Structure 1
Amino acid sequence: MPEAHSLHRHARDQREALAGQVLAVSSPQGRFDAAPFDGHRLDDVQAYGKHLLYSFDEAPDVHVHLGLKGIYLRTADLALPPRGGTRMRLAGEREAFSLIAPSRCEALVPQARDALLASLGPDPLRVGEAGREDAARRLAAAGTAVGAALLDQSVWAGIGNAWRAELLFLAGLDPARRVGEEEAGLLWDLAVELLRLGVDAGQVVSDPTAPDERWVYKRDTCRRCGTTVQTRTVAGRTAYVCPRDQR
C-alpha cells in the first residue's frame, strides 16, 4: 500500500501541474460522479497521511485513498484517450492525471472532510519537528506494541509496513515492545528526516548513503550485521526484525 511519502509526492506533482486551472474532470469507468467538478478550478491538492484531498472552487472536496492497487498515470498528450478503467481523470491545460483502481474516490462535504482529518494522527510530512511532542505522547499512550501502534492511522498518519520495518530497525526497537515518550520521540525524528527524502526519491529511503537499499524490509539477512531477518505477524502485517540489532 502506498505510504505517506508517495501520497505527498502525488500531491506535490499534481498541485504543481494543475492547481489554479479550470479542469476537465471525467470518469471513463463511470464509477465516480465527475459532473460537480468538471469545469471548475482546482485550488489545491493536499496529502494527509495516506489520503489525498482535492479542493475545487464552488464544489465539494474530492477524497482519494489509493488502497493496495491504486495508481496515477500522467500524460502530456491530452488527446490520448484514458484507459477504460480510469476512475477519475483530471485534465488541465498541459497535462492530465488518470486515477486507476483506488479504494476510495468520493466527494466530501465540509463536515465529512473535517471528520476524516480529525480521525488521523499527526503526519510527519505535515507537522514535522513541530509535532514531536504530540506524536511522542500519542505513540507512548497507544497501549499496544509499537509495531501495531505505528500502523494505526489515528496514532500517526502515513506510516505503512515498509516504513514501520525500517524505522524500528534504525531505532533498535523490536515491534513487539511498548515504548515510552523518549523512544517515541526518536522514532518521530527519524520519520520526519527520512520521509522527506522519500518524497523526493519516490521510494522508501532509510539510508541516505544508499537510497536503494533497505536494512531489514523484505530482506533475508540484516544489511548491517548479516543476521537472518525474522518475520512475524504484527497487526495483521508481516514485520521484519533483526533479532540482534532490535532490542
Structure 2
Amino acid sequence: MASRNNMTELGCVACDDLVEFGAGREGWLVDSPSLLTALDTHSIALANRSVVLVIDWSDGSDPSAPRVKIRPTLSPIEAEFISAIEWLVFDDVRVLALGTSCGYLLIYSLQGVLIHKQIVSPGRIVKLRVRGTKRDLTEDTSSEEICVVMHGVIARFDGSDIQSMLKRWFQETHSQFWNQKRDPDETEHSYGRLPYQLWNVSKYGSCADAAITGIMPPPLMELQVITYAAQS
C-alpha cells in the first residue's frame, strides 16, 4: 500500500520581494547558507545578512499588501550582519528577535519598529532558541525563556522579563501623550537592560547550538555572570 503524506496548507508566501533573498533559483530556500528563516503560526520571517522580510499568511491578510521589511542599523566598521532570528510570543503579543555577529540582541514589533537593543556578549550570536508552551503550528506559543547561543557562551533570558518590557513599551507608545519619535540609539536605555544569566562554556569547546530544557541551569556549566536590570 502506498504511503500517504498528510500535509496542511498554511498559506502562500510568493511575492516579488523574495527575489532579494534568492527566490527563483532551485533550492534557494534550503541551500543558501546566509538565509535565515523563522516560522510562526501566522507569519514567516526570512533574513539575509542585512534585511528581514516578514510575510503574513493569517486569515484575512491581503496578499497584495506591502510586506514588512526590517533593515537594522549594523556597524560597517565591524562588518556586522544578522546571524540569528526567532519569533517571541507572549499571549497575543508577537515580536521578532534578531541576533547579530557583534553580539547584539534586537527586538522588533510586527510593524518593524525597534523595541529593544542590548549587547549580550562580544562575538557572534549563532542561534536563538525559545522554550515555551503549546509549541504547535496550530497554536500560539507562550515563550517561557530564550536561549542565546554563542561560540563561547550561552545566555538565558526569562520570558517574563521580556514580557514586562513589552508591556511598558506598548503602554508608552499607545499613550495619548506620546507624540514624538524615539531615538533608536536610546532604545537600550529607555526600558532598562533585560536581566540575563551568562555561562562560559568555552572550556568544553566551540558551541554550535544549545537548548534550555528546564528552569535550573545544567550542572556542567559554570555560572559566570548574572546581570540585573538597573534601577530606574
Q: Which has the higher strand share?
A: 2
TM over 0.5: no
Q: Which has the larger radius of gyration?
A: 1
Q: Which has the higher helix share?
A: 1
Using CA pairs under 8 Å that are at least 6 residues apart, name the structure with larger relative contact order, 1 or 2.
1
TM superposition score normalised by structure 2: 0.30
